[in-house]
Structures are given as structure tokens and as C-alpha cells.
Amino acid sequence: MLSNVAKSIGQRSLFGNLKSLTNQRNNGYASEATFETRAFKLHNLEEGPSTSVTLSKEDALKYYGQMYTIRRMETAAGNLYKEKVIRGFCHLYSGQEACAVGMRAAMRPEDSCITAYRCHGWTFLMGVSVQAVLSELTGRSSGCARGKGGSMHMYGRNFYGGNGIVGAQVPLGVGIGFAAKYNGTKGACIALYGDGAANQGQLFEVYNMAKLWNSPCIFVCENNGYGMGTSVERASANTNYYTRGDYVPGIWVDGMDVLAVREATRFALEHTSSGKGPILMETATYRYSGHSMSDPGTSYRSRDEIAEVRQTRDPITSLREKILTTELASVEELKEIEGKIRAEVDAATKVAKTDKEISVDELTADIYSNPQNLTSVRNTLPLAELPHKRLGKAVNM
């Protein structure tokens, strides 16, 4: 039996509603196409984003490549975990690629992002290479956090992680947005959380604080239908997460459509950056894997449900068909992109399995971003001598 989220994201055909195709063509192929997205649902808003979206060939291939890369990278991560090369926790983003890629497409250089532990795809989109992501997963020195953070703690420029405590990243996101307002950067912070975290009390506290301060923060609930083995219907009295900010306005968006997410995010950024304060966005999406690698993901939902979403609403297949149907690109062009990405991920996987780990001397370093001014604080500098070594020398004297 399909969950409400699975039903809601499966009500449209795979291809969406093709509205029109422009006459601009290069080498026999269209340079631009226009589509009609699924209607947005609004809370405390008089108007929302336009459902008519335009897609250029350049952007189409970019979004397709980004989503395909995340899917291949997560598949590689899943295999590495099964091989016991990745230890600890590992939460995969497969199925939710349109959420991250759509939001990233609308972000400006001054904007920031903070998310929960399902962060591999976001880390890549925020400028970290596939190899650095996979090496971080395997605890290698070429990882984006020198192998110290692993799956749940990855960082980059304007990207504040990867956070392991359920819901705890959302108050931090409000603070990041407030800092942008305080410093006059004109930026906003996208603070992401899942439907399971949506019931955390701290979220409701910072909805209030963000509205009082008019902090430029976009609260994003990535509603994939299930928390840790529990459907949204069993966990939440109100499953319309976009309405739960009270005075904070909200938007519901089809999270399996990268173009709909892009337009909703553009609208949200314009709203919050114009001084109107925070806004809440719910992306109705779906995860193909379990909550984590220790969860098979089939004890609380059927295999048929997963297969139906894959066949009717997969974000990558959907965009691929849009591109081909409107002749934005050829099958050969897409296959070439796919081949390059497969080769890149395969090469990155080899490095992630063979690269060296950091030395024991470096384990306690990098506690501060700028430790040069903290030389009096022990173990803040890489390769500084550890206490146990000094203690050993003292004992041997």
C-alpha cells in the first residue's frame, strides 16, 4: 500500500506536462524548452512561483549530469559499505537528487546551506569533488575533512555540514542566516531537515525566533515519506509540513521535479532576501534505500511501492525524457555524459579504497578553523606532539 507521499508524487506522468518548445535551434536541436510544473501549494502567501518554467540546453545537461553523478556516487558508497570499507553510519540520497540539484541551481554565491546526515550529494554540489567525498566516507586523508568526519560530517565553502543530531542543524541555519543579515552580505541560509526531524521541538522554537528577527533563512523539509522505519502518517498529526511554521509562510513543491524545486527556491530566496523574513518549503520526495545502510527499507513499505516510484517518478529518468522529448539533446550526448561520470566515480572509488589514512599525530588537530593564533592551546596544530608522547618521555626519564 502506497504512503501518502508516494501517492502524491506518483499522480503525474513521468514526463510532466510539456507546454511548449521554442523555435530556437542549434545544429538541429532546441536550445531552450518550456514546461508546466505541478502546482505549488501555498501557506500564508498570496502568490507563489510560476508553474511555467524555461530550461536551456546548457542547464538541462548540467542538472542531468549533477543528478547522475550523485546517483552513481551513492551507489558506489553503498557498495563500499557492503564491502566493509566504509564503517559506521551511511545514509544514501538516492531518489532525492532533484531536491539538492534544484535548490543548488537557484542559490547565489552569497548563499549558504546546512543539512542533516544525508549529505553526500549536497557536499558534492557545494564544490567538493567526488573523490574527496568518497575518501571522506572511507576515512582517508584526501577526504574533505581529512577522513575525520566520515559520512555525517562533511563541509565545504558556505556549506556547514552534515550534522548527526536529528534536527540540531536547523537552529544553526537560523544563526547563519542571521549572521548574513548582520554582516550585510545579502545572503540567505537554506536549512534542511527530514520529515522525521520535523517534530523536534527545537524547530518550532526557531521558526518563532527566525520570524521575530526576520532572519533570511529557508526552512526545507525534505519529506521522503518515512523517518527511521516510520511513515509520516504514524509520526505526525499534521503531515502538511509546509504549513507548520505558523506565521512563517510555506510552499509545497514536487521534490521529484528538479525544475519545480529550482523555481520554488528562486521564489523563496527572493522572498527572504527582500526583508520579509523566513519561509518554509516542503519537497515531496522519496528515498530508494533504507533510512541508513543498517535498514533494509522493506519492513515498513513494500518493494512494489519502491518499484512504482522508480518507474513513474524517478527524477533522473524524468529529466532525461524531458530532454529527449523536447530535443534539447540527443541520446548520444546523454550517453557520453553518463560514460564520463561512470569513469570519474570508478576512479574516485579506487582512490577512496587505497589512499592512506592520517597519522595519529593529526587526530586532535583542526579543532579550530584558524589555529595559528592559538598556539598556546595544546593539540590545535597538525602534527603537534600529543600528550601521551610527552608523558611517555617524562616517565622514561
- What's the grid cell of residue 142? 584526501
Q: Which H/E stretch holds residue 133? A: helix 130-137
Alpha carbon distance 324, 306 (integer Å): 25
Listed by start position, the domains of the chain span 35-358, 366-396
What is the pLDDT, as a whole number, of residue 387?
57
Quickly list H helices, the chain.
4-9, 57-82, 97-106, 120-125, 130-137, 169-183, 201-213, 232-235, 258-271, 303-313, 315-325, 331-354, 387-396
Rounded alpha-carbon distances, angstroms, from residue 274 to 187, 189, 217, 298: 10, 14, 12, 44
For helices 331-354 and 315-325, the axis angle rounded to 10 degrees is 150
Question: What does the pLDDT look like over 246-270, one tens digit per residue?
Answer: 999 999 999 999 999 999 999 999 9
| Banded model confidence at residue 299, pLDDT cuts 50, 70, 90 | confident
Which residue type does 253 have? V
- Going by CATH, does the domain composed of 35-358 fall within 3.40.718.10? no
Alpha carbon distance 283, 121 (integer Å): 16
Q: Which residues, 6 or more positions from 363, have their beta carbon under 8 angstroms from its beta carbon?
A: 148, 386
Of the candidates 206, 227, 196, the one whose C-alpha atom is nearest the C-alpha of residue 280 is 206
Count how many Cα atoms sit within 13 Å of the Cα of residue 163 in the half-sphere of its side chain: 21
The residue to which cell 575518501 is assigned? 135
What is the pLDDT, as a whole number, of residue 184?
95
Note whether 332 and 324 are within 8 A (CB): no
| Banded model confidence at residue 109, pLDDT cuts 50, 70, 90 | very high
What is the pLDDT, as a whole number, of residue 375?
60
Alpha carbon distance 287, 290 (integer Å): 7
Average pLDDT, the chain: 89
Cα 89 → chain centroid: 17
User: Length of the chain in residues, anyone?
Assistant: 397
Question: What does the pLDDT look like over 123-159, one tens digit per residue?
Answer: 999 999 999 999 999 999 999 999 999 999 999 999 9
Look at residue 1 and tell me whether its pLDDT is greater than 70.
Answer: no
Q: Quick one: residue 231, left, alpha or beta (phi over 0 = left, psi -120 to 50 = alpha)? A: beta
Which residue type does 105 have? A
Look at residue 80 and tell me whether its pLDDT is greater than 50.
Answer: yes
More confident call, 207 vs 376: 207
Question: What does the pLDDT look like over 180-222, one tens digit per residue?
Answer: 999 999 999 999 999 999 999 999 999 999 999 999 999 999 9
